[in-house]
Amino acid sequence: MTILEKESQIINEFSMFDDWIDKYNYLIELGKTLPVIDEQHKTDQYLISGCQSKVWLFAFIKEGKVFFTGDSDAIITKGIVNLLIRVLSDQTPDDIIQAKLEFIDNVGLKEHLSPTRSNGLSAMIKQMKLYATVFKMKGA
């Protein structure tokens, strides 16, 4: 699936909920399904700075596609991490770098997060794009 197809899927999922309490509950449920990050990657090296809660993000490249794993110590943030991983994993570095991630605004995520969580979301996106940029520069 392309990034746009994945974003469209998420927009459709969030459109099933009328209010933000239900959307937060959905984020919490998504957090519970976040693929487990290997414990060796839950170190300061993979910790995202700028997040209110602790967020670890690890990336690797396989056959020209970038894959992410992550975790957080906050349940809503885990759901946000899961959404980002879902959209950006299994994509080329170029596609990740160019991704506009419009689903974030389309579902109202950024406007319903606290300023510190919103900053954390931006930091996560920045880190994921940075990983993609490094992989591209290495020609991986």
Q: Which residues are catalytic?
A: 51
Q: Are 58 and 46 in contact (CB under 8 A)?
A: yes
Q: Is 65 left (phi over 0), alpha (psi -120 to 50) or beta?
A: beta
Q: Which residues make Cβ contacts (< 8 Å) with residue 28, sequence separation at least 6?
A: 75, 76, 78, 79
| DSSP β-ladder status, 65-72 and 55-62 | antiparallel
Residue 86, H or E segment? helix 75-88
Q: Which two tokens stand for residue 13?
A: 């999922």
